[in-house]
Amino acid sequence: MSLAPQELENSASKYAAEAIKLDSQGSRGMAIQSYQRAIEALVKLVQIYPDYKLNKVYMERANAYQNRIKALQMSHGLDDDSPAPAESASAGGNGRSEPANGKSGSSHSGGGKSSGNVETLKADFDDLVMKDKPKVSWDEVIGLDDAKRAIRESIVYPMKRPDLFPLGWPRGILLYGPPGCGKTLLAAAAAAEIDGYFINVDAASMMSKWLGEAEKNISKLFKMARSLNENEGVPVLLFIDEIDSLLGQRNSEVGGEVRVKNQFLTEMDGINGKSKESQLYVIGATNKPWSLEAGFLRRFQKRIYVTLPDNASRTNLFSQYTKPLNTEGSLKIEELAKITEGYSASDVKDICQSVQLRVVNELFESGKAMEAGANPRPVGNNDFKEILKIRKPSVSVDMIRAYMRWSDQFKAL
Ligand code: ADP
């Protein structure tokens, strides 16, 4: 018997309310788990009832929670589970902070020549755009050496020594590959290194939110990015996730998709033709590179495949994500890496999280959780194996073949 939509909706609301509460209390890890449960309930709802009238709203909500998870993960590093500083904890709330150079994006006093304009533009995007300075270092991005090098060459080096690039350098970079392998993380690490604004937008939620107005809003978004760069002298990295949605079918307006796409291409041409002083970059990310057409691809001079982790990277991922767990040194990480071929980086992280939950649940079920000094037992390889029985890779072998085929044809490092 499947659940009625109402029941699934109630359970999503319950988890979301829990997440928001935990988020506002600074319990980052627990908040992330509750947001994830809320997302799972919403996704299940949409899958079971594909024709349900509120599905669009549910997917928007799920996207908002996903963005919040990313904001929580990005702004506090990967290992640090310390409470978040006072941040918005609304359901779709995006953490906001100042650019790295200390100039506040919202500190204008009315005297600047056009910063007022920037403020108005920013206000238009408050609920979709995360302007943040992520605390992600290159070391925290495991593996992906080619991708790291290509991003450094095209963004970091030209920014540091523009005089060494008389022929200019790429402003558009496309990251493609299976979900959960580090596209967002790479973009965040690049933004952290160039010490600038990181504008993180999700094209899918942009398109559904701006139904019929996407064209105008894309132009505003780029205008905001340009103004931030020109008026505040801070480099700006505009990260557009799910960029394939700009070509999608969601815009119900007749001819809407074409106009949105053309607007985007025009904006990209503007950026690519910019003088050396301009420090504005666009990183697009997609799990469906095959849905992008040639005109689109041409605007992204670098096209980088962000792959599933290989054996060595999975070993490092397990080592990173089991660090906070009590393992009593008994864990054989190499074995775990071997049996998780085909799993994404974020699958590995989720597996570690599930193992942790397993021993915590055990403690609660034993009725001893509230006793003084009670702690979960150490985790071992068997706990991971049990979780792996019920947790399959999120990417299929066929999908990987499709990425490789596309990559052979279109990658550009
Ligand atoms: P994508 O943008 O490719 O869908 P993300 O960068 O959002 O994937 O990854 C989701 C989460 O999975 C990250 O926040 C991080 O915790 C983990 N993760 C993904 N890739 C890596 C990686 N290469 N190294 C370390 N952690 C990773």
Question: Does residue 373 share a domain with residue 330?
Answer: yes
Judge contact between 400 and 177, C-beta under 8 A: no
Question: Does residue 289 share a domain with residue 144?
Answer: yes
For residue 274, report the distance from its CA to the centre of ligand 1, in Å.
31
For residue 51, report the distance from its CA to the centre of ligand 1, in Å.
31
Question: Does residue 247 share a domain with residue 290?
Answer: yes
DSSP state of 245: G
Task: Write the DSSP string, 322-335.
Answer: HTTS--TT---HHH
Domain limits at 150? 133-307
Query: pLDDT band at 8, cuts 50/70/90?
Result: confident
Is position 412 within any domain?
A: no
Is position 204 within any domain?
A: yes
Give the pLDDT score at 255.
54
pLDDT higher than 70, residue 258: yes
For residue 168, report the distance from its CA to the centre of ligand 1, in Å.
30
For residue 184, report the distance from its CA to the centre of ligand 1, in Å.
7
Give the pLDDT score at 71.
79
The pair of structure tokens assigned to 75 is 């702004």
Q: What is the CATH number of the domain that holds 377?
A: 1.10.8.60
Question: Does residue 206 share a domain with residue 353?
Answer: no
pLDDT in tens, 264-278: 999 998 887 766 667
Closest ligand 1 atom number to CA of residue 141:
24
Is position 171 within any domain?
A: yes
Is position 410 within any domain?
A: no
Query: Best substitution site from 132, 349, 353 to test ligand 1's pocket, by max atoms within 8 Å of Cβ?
Result: 349
Helix pair angle (55-75, 28-48), 10° resolution: 160
Q: How many residues are there in the chain?
A: 413
With a threshold of 0.85, does the pTM exceed it?
no
DSSP state of 412: B
Query: pLDDT band at 251, cuts 50/70/90?
Result: very low
Question: Does residue 164 share a domain with residue 108?
Answer: no
Is position 36 within any domain?
A: yes
Query: pLDDT band at 399, cuts 50/70/90?
Result: very high
Dist. CA 216–CA 214, nearest whole Å: 6
Count of H-run helices and E-run strands, the chain: 16, 6
Closest ligand 1 atom number to CA of residue 69:
14
Query: pLDDT band at 289, cuts 50/70/90?
Result: very high
Is position 98 within any domain?
A: yes
Dist. CA 141–CA 345, nearest whole Å: 10
From 280, 307, 334, give the residue that closes a domain: 307
Question: Does residue 353 share a domain with residue 288?
Answer: no
For residue 381, report the distance from its CA to the centre of ligand 1, in Å.
23
Question: Does residue 159 share a domain with residue 299?
Answer: yes
Judge contact between 283 and 190, C-beta under 8 A: yes
For residue 1, report the distance from its CA to the centre of ligand 1, in Å.
35
Query: Best substitution site from 72, 173, 181 to test ligand 1's pocket, by max atoms within 8 Å of Cβ?
Result: 181
Give the pLDDT score at 127.
59
pLDDT in tens, 93-124: 333 333 333 333 332 223 333 344 555 555 56
Query: pLDDT band at 349, cuts 50/70/90?
Result: very high
Average of pLDDT values for 287-305?
Answer: 91
Give the pLDDT score at 178.
96
Pocket lined around ligand 1, Cβ cut-off 6 Å? 70, 73, 78, 141-144, 179-185, 285, 306, 317, 345-346, 349
Q: What percent of the chain has pLDDT over 90?
A: 33
Dist. CA 262–CA 258, nearest whole Å: 6
Is position 191 within any domain?
A: yes
For residue 172, report the distance from its CA to the centre of ligand 1, in Å.
21
Closest ligand 1 atom number to CA of residue 73:
14
Q: What is the CATH number of the domain that holds 118?
A: 1.20.58.80
pLDDT higher than 90, residue 337: yes
Dist. CA 29–CA 23, nearest whole Å: 9
Judge contact between 237 and 131, C-beta under 8 A: no
From 111, 126, 141, give the residue that closes a domain: 126
Max distance between CA atoms of the chain, in angstroms, equals 69
Question: Does residue 277 share a domain with residue 161?
Answer: yes
Closest ligand 1 atom number to CA of residue 186:
6
Helix pair angle (381-390, 345-365), 10° resolution: 110
Q: What is the CATH number of the domain that holds 149?
A: 3.40.50.300
Average of pLDDT values for 381-395?
Answer: 93
Query: pLDDT band at 125, cuts 50/70/90?
Result: low
pLDDT higher than 80, residue 254: no
pLDDT higher than 50, residue 403: yes
Judge contact between 296 and 268, C-beta under 8 A: no
The total number of structural domains that make up the chain = 3
Indicate which residue's Cα is closest to atom 12 of ligand 1: 346
Question: Does residue 143 share a domain with residue 114?
Answer: no
Residue 77 or residue 154, greater confidence:
154
Dist. CA 179–CA 341, nearest whole Å: 15
